[in-house]
Structure 1
């Protein structure tokens, strides 16, 4: 008995797989690693940066389908990283999801409103993040 599927049975499934690359940017290394693990478990290719400067270098060097980014970080804040990314990779600007524990901070609230970006307030439910990413990439 031959249990191997015919090549034509496999081919459509291989071609339909389209892995999406996501950059996670957060100075909280434990949270960034947890998000990397969670999103990889959902079949995303996940890269991590721990501040905005590192993230900007990665965005210039690689193509990402989405960015999940904290707003308050050392060296280059999330809002500054977003604006620089918008200049370097304009097509990526509408594929950001910000994560913040400071959504009520007037400066952060103004940024989020002015740029009409998606965001989640920390702590957020894991499924909420997954749903937000899938909606953004659909």
Structure 2
């Protein structure tokens, strides 16, 4: 069973989370609806930092996702560089041991799951990383 509190943050996301165990299935559906078609973005670093990372996840309405991560680094007097990677696959929301989980299978067959929840500041936390959400922004 999943126990989550209904909050203004959840309403801002468009996901109304309830606090009764009988509504666990409804919570899973509401998370799916809230993420479907959304773009999530996380950035670490700053304009003056020597290291930065931008991560974007597009959750398509058809159950597919694209995960894009780019990073750059610079060590004064030595070296610098940049990298990026994109992973695509299928996503879903499931309950696992009383926790809401984002589950995925990559197009290469790798699979896994991350706990997912709403933070007090309105960001969606996936596996310990806070993401800003843009509903309808997935573009797929």
**Superposed pair shares fold, TM > 0.5:** no
What is the TM-score with the length of structure 2 in the denominator? Answer: 0.27
Q: Does 1 or 2 have the higher relative contact order (CA < 8 Å, sep 6+)?
A: 2
What is the TM-score with the length of structure 1 in the denominator? Answer: 0.27
Q: Which protein has the bigger strand share? A: 2
